[in-house]
Amino acid sequence: MSRQGLHIQVDLERQQLRLLSGSACVAIYSVSTARNGPGELQGSECTPRGLHRIRLKIGDGEPTNSVFIGRRPTGEIHTPELAAANPDRDWILTRILWLTGLEPGRNRGGAVDSLRRFIYIHGTPDSEPMGRAASHGCIRMRNSELIQLYDQVSVGTIVDIREQF
């Protein structure tokens, strides 16, 4: 657990992220996880299961809808016009919580390493649906809700990803 005992649960079946303090639920957010379902293998475009922790927080002070490529802000702000000009981009917006696996052989090391797979909790365009699996493996959130979450958690916060809780 992290500061003030906060930890995160991601329920793949319900497409929900819960922020907990001990056993008390602090917030529930609708998310979008992998279109390909759960899985850990490199290249699978699946959302990895198991215990993780936040390895890095990226995006302090960046404006809402700021665009990231390779974990760096591009200076662009996502708009419908920018999206129309780049229809094939997988948009990573506003903030990034980069996850690292804690379970060797399951989500850490070799061909199942969540950190090397670049698995994030990140913002997505407001036009993208929440509550249904549609991502390329990451956990997508509404930008305003991601900022709320980002501001409450710290590096080291535990993230437990399961098919259901």
Q: Is 122 a catalytic residue?
A: yes
pLDDT higher than threshold 70 for residue 4: no
pLDDT tens for each residue of 84-96:
999 888 899 999 9
User: Is 25 a residue of the active site?
Assistant: no
User: What's the mean pLDDT when you consider all of the chain?
Assistant: 95
Angle, CA of 159, 106 and 118, to the nearest 5°: 60
pLDDT band with cut points at 50, 70 and 90 for residue 2: very low
Confidence of residue 1 (pLDDT cuts 50, 70, 90): very low
**Residue 11's pLDDT band (boundaries 50, 70, 90)?**
very high
Active-site residue (options: 7, 78, 122, 136): 122
The pTM assigned to this predicted structure is 0.95
Return the beta strands (E) in 31-109 as ranges.
50-58, 66-69, 72-77, 93-101
- Domains in the chain, start-ordered, CATH in brackets? 3-162 (2.40.440.10)
